[in-house]
Amino acid sequence: MIESKNDWLEWVKALLIAVLLAVVIKTYFFTPIIVDGPSMKPTLSDRDQMIVNKFAYRVGEPKRFDIVVFHASEQKDFIKRIIGLPGEHVAVKDNVLYINGEAIEESFLNQNDYLYTWESDFVLEDLPGGYEQIPEGHYLVLGDNRNNSTDSRVFGVIDGDEIVGKTNLIYWPLKRIQIVGE
């Protein structure tokens, strides 16, 4: 009987350790997210399931064209692509992205026979906040589906503290398993 009780306690202990480890990993390192809507097409599709790397920006800084998840509100997280970095000026004219006056190619917009174009030109000063440069610690984010995305053109630049993490691994559906990026 004692041996059976010890076995039971070992199982309970192993289960508690596994649950604790899972909570720590999900809280500090990786968490799943489901893409909601078409704003990141053609790169991401509605209902793609991805892994968010929460640790990436604890050891490094966000880079242009990283796909990030951030808190859009207390109830909702968004997934968008970083386009503008702190200290930069962003503009779009005739479907060309300009960073500090230099044309920047966005090769990810030409994937899978899709060619997404901008609905209209804009400059950073026209966005909420009216900044001449992106403030320190803030980022300009856009969806890849530029004509169907709620992004910095609507809500302005985002605070880096609101970024949950970087994502680039689609794990579901099985036919879409891939690492996405630039």
Residue 39 annotated to the active site: yes
What's the number of CA atoms in the CB half-sphere (13 Å) around residue 121? 7
Q: Active-site residue among 4, 5, 26, 39? A: 39
Residue 107 annotated to the active site: no
For residue 98, what are the β-bridge partners? Answer: 91, 103
Q: Active-site residue among 54, 80, 149, 166? A: 80
Asked if residues 141 and 152 have their Cβ atoms less than 8 Å apart, the reply is: yes
**How far is Cα 114 from Cα 109, in angstroms, rounded to an integer?**
7
Asked if residues 151 and 80 have their Cβ atoms less than 8 Å apart, the reply is: yes
Catalytic annotation, residues: 39, 80
